[in-house]
Structure 1
Amino acid sequence: MLFFFRQLRHIFTQSHSISQQIRLSRCAFFQLLGYLGSCVVISLAAQSKYLE
């Protein structure tokens, strides 16, 4: 399984420049933060007393 991820990383580095890699990584990171944040908000709303 680790070999698979190494191959993916190798393909990614060959197909993008350094600046593109940085931009894509930042975009993916902030999308992940947005997803996790929305999960937290939905969880808090589901546990709220207002839904009773």
Structure 2
Amino acid sequence: MWLRAARWYEAQGEMREAIVHALEAADFSYAASLLERTAEDIWLHGETHTLYR
């Protein structure tokens, strides 16, 4: 369920939500992949709490 939601959010461009759901699914490889693609954007928008989590 969590992984399916993560992939749906990714398809919608909601990367932060996708990361949260990938982590809930314990798919750390997928979560890391999402983070690598969005880390700069998250950092520049002051949302480092997402990275720390």
Same fold (TM over 0.5): no
Q: Which of 1 and 2 has greater Rg?
A: 1
Q: Taking structure 1 as the reference length, what is the TM-score of the superposition? A: 0.31
Question: Which of the two has greater helix per residue?
Answer: 1
Task: Kindly indicate whether structure 1 or structure 2 has the higher relative contact order, using CA contacts under 8 Å at least 6 residues apart.
Answer: 2
Q: Taking structure 2 as the reference length, what is the TM-score of the superposition? A: 0.30
